[in-house]
Amino acid sequence: MITGKNYIGSFLSNKGAITFKTFNPQLNVENEMIFYETSTAEINKAVSLATSAFKEFRNISGIRKAVFLNAIADEILDLGDELINTYCSETGLPAGRAQGERGRTVGQLRSFAQLVDEGSWVEATIDTAQPDREPIPKPDLRKMLTALGPVVVFGASNFPLAYSTAGGDTAAALAAGCPVIVKSHPMHAGTGELVASAIIKAAEKTGMPNGVFSNLNSSGISVGTQLVSHSGVKAVGFTGSIKGGRALFDLASKRKEPIPVFAEMGSVNPVIILPNALNNRAADLAKTYAGSVTLGTGQFCTNPGLILGIKSDALTEFVNTLGKEIAAIDPMCMLHPNIIGVYEVNKEKAILQKDVAVVSVYQKDVKTNFARQVITTVEGVTFLENPTLHQEVFGPYSIIVQCESKNQLEEILSNLEGQLTGTVIANDNEENDFKEVISTLQNRVGRIIFNGVPTGVEVCPSMHHGGPYPASTDSRFTAVGIHSIKRWARPFSYQNWPNDLLPAELQNDNPLEISRLVNGLKTIDIITNE
Amino acid sequence: MITGKNYIGSFLSNKGAITFKTFNPQLNVENEMIFYETSTAEINKAVSLATSAFKEFRNISGIRKAVFLNAIADEILDLGDELINTYCSETGLPAGRAQGERGRTVGQLRSFAQLVDEGSWVEATIDTAQPDREPIPKPDLRKMLTALGPVVVFGASNFPLAYSTAGGDTAAALAAGCPVIVKSHPMHAGTGELVASAIIKAAEKTGMPNGVFSNLNSSGISVGTQLVSHSGVKAVGFTGSIKGGRALFDLASKRKEPIPVFAEMGSVNPVIILPNALNNRAADLAKTYAGSVTLGTGQFCTNPGLILGIKSDALTEFVNTLGKEIAAIDPMCMLHPNIIGVYEVNKEKAILQKDVAVVSVYQKDVKTNFARQVITTVEGVTFLENPTLHQEVFGPYSIIVQCESKNQLEEILSNLEGQLTGTVIANDNEENDFKEVISTLQNRVGRIIFNGVPTGVEVCPSMHHGGPYPASTDSRFTAVGIHSIKRWARPFSYQNWPNDLLPAELQNDNPLEISRLVNGLKTIDIITNE
């Protein structure tokens, strides 16, 4: 049941004076429930509870954390149709998408449960003592990853489940041993509260300390700003706009004690279509990309917003076919009037740039909050000279750049900002003739795709979801997959520490049977030569 | 031979107008050689060379990088006595220290050579395709670490070899595939140029691209500031003061494209001596700590600047004995008049704080640039209330805090800033009665030591040298040991990428025979099911 209140640890609380409602973009009406923005006192209480929960939680075994994470997944599933209906009413997205995203969310929780249940993720590294070493004895040193401290997670507007309350950032942080305070996204506060109630139930059922999780409502930037500035908060996860992510990064960097902000801020995800591919299958590619550009009304961070080719008749065919295909797709609802408002502004700005040609706009009337998809095209030199055209237009929009030559293509790529993904479309091994172009693309992105589309982010260990700035604030960490746990942990060394006081991961007899690096060799063996 | 010029790639260049000399603190005279500060044009040229070298260097095999790193080690050894004599004349440190630090430097280079020669450090992770998966096919995804780009390394005043020109940061960055531009430390510019000449020789002999290394002289902050602000620079390594490290961090955070600054900024390295240990061996501990406090004239970042105990007769005995022991040690030369100048100022400031008692000061006359070691003591409450007493006094200085109780000890620890190390001295299993105190200490440090001293940083995989801010700007990375390579690399994913275009680390037949995570299992097996 949704109450509109905040979870300050396990306590429902609504002491704030500011209230707000969520919005149903399909019906173009406000939803009924009144939500209470968190007050400063409630924020301080949540951080204080998280700080004291951390003392216990960081030492809880991986096995118990796994039970907790699996319990969260179970409780989310137990929310049943109320969750799906609330999700749809707050996003305008269809039930199928809600169900799919719930499956992804539950899958992420279970994969982190498996990771910490097994336990080797702590990268246990042991070098045993050499008391007789000359000129000085070598001490016994043992290292493993340990939790950073309370983490703040910002809910993402475009993933109310998979990158919000119990999404990837939260699952990874809890798995690492960090209490989590969620700054709930105001557009889906009801969905957020339902998921929060599942986490709180799971925490209580599995005996986790109060304060291991809090869920804070907010209607503007004040709650998030206070959280990121709070000395008790030790790291931040964010998915959203460059403007929002950079503001948090700047705030965190200016603190007396700077803290890491892992902001995944999206990108235009350049796609290069090489000549043979265009010659062989321009029309097919246009159909495929019409689907990718409009998938989820273009509201994915991996949306292909920039398509590049070298001028040819085949490229012209691709441009024209993509235009027709796009125009034939029924427009869809965007997440919120604010989102479509920004889309309209950015789209207009892009279209009105000098020498930008509109290939296609969906022409018929559309319902309120439904987005007209647009394809534009420019010459390579125009694109090179106008950085405004490099910016993301969040929504079903893409620009096709028609380059003069391979050299111009490479020059354009070398001038792009950092991107989450890059895609290369090729036929007949022509990629071998474009090695420098591809190498240049590679240096600007976090993931490179061959003969596919950037949309669709597989959740698996080999996925890197992140990239050079501004795709993310820290290109060294992924926001998707089990390795994202590394954002929330730091290495810690014990020197000559008594065996029985060491964490189980580092004890001589390896009671968890994890894989460890012992004196330079990976092994699950126990240590006997002491 | 020292020329006083900069290495802009392999070119010796001295186009700058500013010149400076190094200083011999033992003799209290300037050394003769004139050094030329790098001009802005030379800085831009070095970054430009590094940027173009990166295109080639990031794809050079681990085996070839290992040859390069070993060649640097060989060339450093070939410098022979000229290096040792220059080191001593620019630091006031004895030849034995120079030789020891050279051994450490060479050892570090060889350990990174071994790491990249073997190759598994790239954390290759592969999930093979499942074309028949429902509802959508699973793509083939393969991930590994790849180099960040050109790195700037700031030489450290207190480690002219091991944390300067070819020190830990440089060795790790080159091993990762990043070109390195060293901002040479002005206090040992001659030592720096000699080592730089060894690196350049090694690069030429092993066929590395020009620009893979540059060495820039500077007398003030201008060269470093320009480097950290340069858009071509992608990461920074620094060892030094909090003031200096924070300034670089702030500069890097404010860039249009923020870049990581790994600053290791030292700390006071709290030591807790528990009651039984004091009762059993106060005098012995005092002797041991007199040595640790004055080791290298206190010029180590792991110097024990803060010793804590609970009030007792045994603690009084420890304080008095440490005072006597300290006063009996012959004062030693500090690195530079500027260093001893800052030591004197900070020491005076600390001594003059309210309710600080001086236990012992070396009383006799000392030579110019030689430091008088000092021990002070305060009550727990005094320390708690005065943050000035928490600050590092870089040099042979330590303050002993006499706590009222275990609770006060824990409160003090919980109020400390982040530290590189914490040490617990205990007897008769009394550590079991101080678990909360130790847990609190653990949360403030990067390494915890049992019944030892914090000085002495073993170079091995299980060493973590770093800690919560301000010990370092990023507690998630070590500055010592092979894992420090992770500072200079980012994960990169290939999706459905043609096997023959993949880097060797990710190809089906695993030609490098490295350990990889394939479909969730660690293996060196080849991949056949394609």
Per-residue confidence at A529, pLDDT binned at 50, 70, 90? Answer: low
Give the CA-trace dihedral at A447, A448, A451, A454, to 10 degrees: 40
- Note whether A216 and A42 are within 8 A (CB): yes
Residue B265's φ and ψ, nearest 5 degrees, are -115, 15
Q: Could you give the CA distance from residue A119 to residue A529 in angstroms, rounded to a whole number? A: 24
Probe site for chain A from B146, B464, B499 (most A CB atoms < 10 A): B464
Chain A: residue whose CA lies nearest to B497:
A450
Instruction: State yes or no: pLDDT of A525 exceeds 60.
Output: yes
- Does A464 sit within 8 Å of B439, measured CB to CB? no
- Does A257 sit within 8 Å of B417, measured CB to CB? yes
The verdict on B433 touching A (C-beta cutoff 8 Å) is no
- Does A148 sit within 8 Å of B450, measured CB to CB? no
Query: Distance (Å) from the C-alpha of residue A126 to the closest C-alpha of chain B?
Result: 5
Query: Distance (Å) from the C-alpha of residue B496 to the closest C-alpha of chain A?
Result: 5
The verdict on B128 touching A (C-beta cutoff 8 Å) is no
- Does A522 sit within 8 Å of B458, measured CB to CB? no
The verdict on B476 touching A (C-beta cutoff 8 Å) is yes
Query: Distance (Å) from the C-alpha of residue B20 to the closest C-alpha of chain A?
Result: 34
Instruction: State yes or no: pLDDT of A468 exceeds 90.
Output: yes
Biggest CA pair distance of chain A: 84
A328: left (phi over 0), alpha (psi -120 to 50) or beta: alpha
Q: Could you give the CA distance from residue B227 to residue B217 in angstroms, rounded to a whole number? A: 12
Residue A352's φ and ψ, nearest 5 degrees, are -80, 0
Which chain B residues are closer than 8 Å to A57 by Cβ?
A: none
Instruction: State yes or no: pLDDT of A530 exceeds 90.
Output: no
How is chain A split into domains, by residue range? 18-265+479-486, 271-450
Q: Could you give the CA distance from residue B17 to residue B39 in angstroms, rounded to a whole number? A: 7
- Does A462 sit within 8 Å of B143, measured CB to CB? yes
Query: Distance (Å) from the C-alpha of residue A16 to the closest C-alpha of chain B?
Result: 31
Active-site annotation holds for A301: yes
Q: What is the pLDDT of residues A219-262, one digit of tens each?
A: 999 999 999 999 999 999 999 999 999 999 999 999 999 999 99
pLDDT value at position A363? 78
How confident is the model over A276-289, as a mean pLDDT? 97
- Does A470 sit within 8 Å of B476, measured CB to CB? no
Cα atoms in the Cβ-side hemisphere of radius 13 Å centred on B264: 31
Probe site for chain B from A121, A123, A476, A518 (most B CB atoms < 10 A): A476
pLDDT value at position A365? 84
Cα–Cα distance list, A299 to A163, A340, A342, A471, B332 (Å): 13, 10, 12, 15, 66
How confident is the model over A27-40, as a mean pLDDT? 98
- Superfamily assignment of B8-265+478-486 in CATH? Aldehyde Dehydrogenase; Chain A, domain 1 (3.40.605.10)
The mean of the pLDDT values for chain A is 96
The verdict on A451 touching B (C-beta cutoff 8 Å) is yes
Chain B: residue whose CA lies nearest to A142:
B462
- 3-state SS, B218-234, equals CCCCHHHHHHHHCCCCC
pLDDT value at position A121? 97
Per the structure block, which two tokens stand in for B194?
Answer: 């000699």
Task: Measure CB to CB from residue A496 to each of B449, B470, B501 and give the nearest one.
Answer: B449
**Strand extents, DSSP E, A202-270:** 213-216, 235-239, 261-264
* Cross-strand bridge partners of residue B456: none
How confident is the model over A332-337, as a mean pLDDT? 95
Active-site annotation holds for B301: yes
- Does A139 sit within 8 Å of B458, measured CB to CB? yes
Which chain B residues are closer than 8 Å to A460 by Cβ?
A: 127, 138, 141
How confident is the model over A489-501, as a mean pLDDT? 97
Residue B255: DSSP 8-state: S
pLDDT value at position A514? 97
- Note whether A182 and A164 are within 8 A (CB): yes
Fold of A18-265+479-486: Aldehyde Dehydrogenase; Chain A, domain 1 (3.40.605)
A 10 A CB-CB count for A45 gives 20
The verdict on B262 touching A (C-beta cutoff 8 Å) is no
This complex has an ipTM of 0.96
CATH class for the region spanning B271-450: alpha beta
pLDDT value at position B365? 85
A 10 A CB-CB count for B55 gives 15
Instruction: Provide the residue type at B359 as one letter.
Output: V
Per the structure block, which two tokens stand in for B442?
Answer: 């653990």
Residue A342, classified by CB atoms within 10 Å of its CB into exposed (0-12), middle (13-18) or buried (19+), is middle
How confident is the model over A15-36, as a mean pLDDT? 97
Query: Distance (Å) from the C-alpha of residue A366 to the closest C-alpha of chain B?
Result: 30
Per-residue pLDDT tens listing for chain B (530 residues)? 899 999 999 999 999 999 999 999 999 999 999 999 999 999 999 999 999 999 999 999 999 999 999 999 999 999 999 999 999 999 999 999 999 999 999 999 999 999 999 999 999 999 999 999 988 999 999 999 999 999 999 999 999 999 999 999 999 999 999 999 999 999 999 999 999 999 999 999 999 999 999 999 999 999 999 999 999 999 999 999 999 999 999 999 999 999 999 999 979 999 999 999 999 999 999 999 999 999 999 999 999 999 999 999 999 999 999 999 999 999 999 999 999 999 999 999 999 999 999 998 877 888 999 999 999 999 999 999 999 999 999 999 999 999 999 999 999 999 999 999 999 999 999 999 999 999 999 999 999 999 999 999 999 999 999 999 999 999 999 999 999 999 999 999 999 999 999 999 999 999 999 999 999 999 999 999 65
Q: Could you give the CA distance from residue A489 to residue A478 in angstroms, rounded to a whole number? A: 14
Task: Please report the DSSP string for A463-523 in residue order.
Answer: -----TTTTBS-TTS-SSSGGGGGGGEEEEEEES--GGGS-GGGSTT-TT---EEETTEEE
Query: Distance (Å) from the C-alpha of residue B179 to the closest C-alpha of chain A?
Result: 15
- 3-state SS, B18-34, equals CEECCEECCCCEECCCC
Q: Residue written as tokens 């060892």?
A: B239
Residue A395's φ and ψ, nearest 5 degrees, are 145, -170
A 10 A CB-CB count for B158 gives 24
pLDDT value at position A94? 96
Residue B200's φ and ψ, nearest 5 degrees, are -65, -45
pLDDT value at position B529? 64
Task: Measure CB to CB from residue B447 to each of A477, A486, A493 and give the nearest one.
Answer: A493
Q: Could you give the CA distance from residue B106 to residue B113 in angstroms, rounded to a whole number? A: 10
Task: Measure CB to CB from residue B495 to each of A447, A470, A515 and give the nearest one.
Answer: A447
How confident is the model over A412-426, as a mean pLDDT? 97
Pick the catalytic residue from A75, A178, A193, A301: A301
